[in-house]
Structure 1
């Protein structure tokens, strides 16, 4: 849980820090965008080799290495003399962070018998980082220079590394209890890797990979531009609230953005979605529950703009429903991946699926941005609804495959 929270804290502290670097290094958004893209790209691409490393060295070593690498990358970031230094530090962060999801989810799948509850708490911790990371970073920047702020941000990960290396637990307790004592195995050659991949890619596993890719397109597509969209909807619903709260000449009034607080609230509501869906996997099969949540996401996408145009109440209801359902998919997809994968190759299975989520899913931002540029907000949400609808149809097929002997 600490590792998951830290990964997303660092991931979402970077956009806040970029606002400072624009002035610090007298550069452009395009140049910094490339720097951030290096780190984020390695974060997604590294999931597959990270999964292989998990199966070879175990989750404890990889999670500890991830935390240490992220902490050291932010210490390196504090010494960056310019944009090149920032790019290198973010590259180190991306490489270190990329192993987390295969390692953490393998540990839950193989080490915890109550997987649904484990995925729920794990996902909730991630949402704490998603919602709290930007807030904590912004507060640190109010009190300290950005170089000191990133050093402070590095400390929790380094402390967690030491704790992770010293605590005692059995990382394969659930596998021994339910799967006949299967242990992790990692291919040692290209031929073994190809063979393990072919064994892993049953029809069911292939379907879940495509499902999570479409879910990733929806996730990245909606979250990338949502802060700006919420600002437009809020302006239409309540107008500019700053003159009624702050002195118009106050620097606080200039920085205050009500949409950012609504966005944070939406992300925080996702904690409840993570918990409820994780517990739901204890009552029904996760692939069946996934059909329900993907259908709800389709309904929300189609209803979001009409609801937001009704006024503040409609906007709040639509936003919090979106946040709840969007993050409710995560424990369900993780439990479904565990159901349709091999216990001894869990790292590889989560490596492939998170390559789909973060790699293919990253295209969602490009798709959404293109639609917003050349069409309209309403059409963007229709495109998002198409992503979740395709996922729903594939999930129905997955359930059917699961019933076959």
Structure 2
């Protein structure tokens, strides 16, 4: 078993890595107005497409990340992820063409995918008691990285150039890599995984039998329960990803606000989300999963109404409600996945669900680009509202047992 001190250490490192992952993924959103004006001939619909391809890479990478986490070990996959994050962020810093930007955004998406399945699998196994709170703290720290991203990215872009923030991320990722090597990898992967998972496998166990057992368990995850979870995550991703990536450009072009204001308002949404992550974990421990999930998704749906009114006051209210509600659901769905999955294939389970959760993010961004081109930025928010309606409906398919 993992002792309390070690579990705190694991939670701390994973949470910091979580902050980096989300900062790297979300950075393109507040920087998009600068990229459009950079002279690289990147329009808003093309910029959204680039962001969508990065999300698709992230989603597709989640499945092999989960498989590798189960087979090779969680920490090894996480270490590979921060190494690739360092490389791709440096690549973006030096990018000067559309093709280079697309290439390194794609690599960055894949690098980010190497964190979530092993990270959440490791965390869920480390906290059999207090799992909801641990998931909430983990989510809140991840949100903290997102909260700072719009403000810092916009500030650096105005003072220097839009790539400057990626240099900062590369430096941060490099130190996380060093930390992983010298502080986490000092304990062998086999030893950590055995402690966390309560495994008492003998070294003489036949490898072929282990592989066969894993394949059988992996095939067994494709059930109606998984289908219902994926349905919920799909529509949740569709309404959120579609909103967060157009939000800064929407604020600048529709509300005629400054780029700094767009950064502050985006950070406000994410700040409300940090609070929501902690509260969502507490709600799960007190009320279970389904009831809070339904209520919070309903709040997210109704938050789009004030956002569509094109007023600063109503927009602020809607963004706070949306951020709080959306991120409150994340510890709930993460705990839900842990509840219905076997620990031996949990990384793979998280990988499959993250493909749905984030890989499908390319769909709303393509739709948003088309809607913006045809009807303008103001109409794009209604697309997210429709997806939120379907997300609410999908919560009713989640089993009452959780």
The TM-score bracket by the shorter chain reads 0.7 to 0.9
Instruction: Tell me the SS of whatever aligns to 1:399.
Output: coil
Residue 212 of structure 1 pairs with residue 238 of structure 2: no
Shift of 1:200: 0.8
Counterpart of 1:281 in 2: which secondary structure? helix
Counterpart Cα distance in 1 of 2:86 and 2:214: 31
* Structure 1: runs of 5+ lacking an equivalent: 241-254
| Correspondence for 2:304 | 301
The 5 A counterparts of 1:228-377 are 228-230=249-251, 234=255, 256-302=259-305, 304-305=307-308, 308=309, 312-371=312-371
Q: Report the alpha carbon displacement of residue 336 of structure 1 after superposing the two structures with TM.
A: 1.0
- Deviation string, structure 1 residues 366-394 (Cα, Å, up to 9, x no partner): 34454566569897666544433433343
Structure 2, unaligned runs of 5 or more: 1-14
How far apart are 1:189 and its partner, in Å? 11
Q: Distance in 1 between matches of 2:306 and 2:253?
A: 17
Instruction: Report whether the alignment pairs 1:90 with 2:105.
Output: yes
Out of 222, 229, 244, the residue aligned to residue 201 of structure 1 is 222
Name the counterpart of 1:227. Answer: 248
Q: Distance in 1 between matches of 2:294 and 2:21?
A: 28
Partner Cα distance (1:160, 1:360) in 2: 28
Residues 111 and 171 in structure 1, CA contact (< 8 A), matched pair in contact too: no
Q: Is 2:23 aligned against 1:12?
A: no
Task: Tell me the SS of whatever aligns to 2:279.
Answer: helix
Shift of 1:215: 0.8
Whether the aligned pair in 2 keeps the contact of 1:71 and 1:154 (CA below 8 Å) is: yes
Partner Cα distance (2:378, 2:51) in 1: 29
Do the aligned partners of 1:266 and 1:319 also contact (CA within 8 Å) in 2?
yes
Rounded Cα–Cα distance in structure 1 between residues aligned with 2:54 and 2:108 = 6
Q: Which deviates more from structure 2 when the two are superposed, residues 131-140 or residues 316-325?
A: 131-140
Range with bigger deviation, 196-205 or 209-218: 196-205
Q: Are positions 1:160 and 2:142 aligned together?
A: no
Q: Hey, what does 1:47 align to over in structure 2? A: 62
- CA spacing shift, 1:65–1:226, aligned 2, 3 Å: same
Is the contact made by 1:267 and 1:323 (CA closer than 8 Å) also made in structure 2? yes
| Larger gyration radius, structure 1 or structure 2 | 1
Query: CA contact under 8 A between 2:337 and 2:350: conserved in structure 1?
Result: yes
- Superposition deviation, residue 283 in structure 1: 0.9
Aligned length, in residue pairs: 376
Q: Report the counterpart of residue 8 of structure 2 in structure 1.
A: none
Distance between the aligned counterparts of 1:136 and 1:187, measured in 2? 50
- The structural deviation recorded for 1:69 is 1.3
Which residue of structure 1 lines up, in the alignment, with residue 3 of structure 2? none
Aligned residue number for residue 9 of structure 2: none
Task: Evaluate the alpha carbon distance shift between residue 35 and residue 326 of structure 1 in structure 2; reply closer, same or farther with a 3 A threshold.
Answer: closer
Supply the RMSD in Å over aligned alpha carbons.
3.6
Q: Alpha-carbon deviation of 1:143?
A: 4.8
* Aligned counterpart, 2:394: 394
Which shifted more, 359-368 or 290-299?
Answer: 359-368
Determine the C-alpha separation between the residues in 2 that align with 1:86 and 1:80: 6
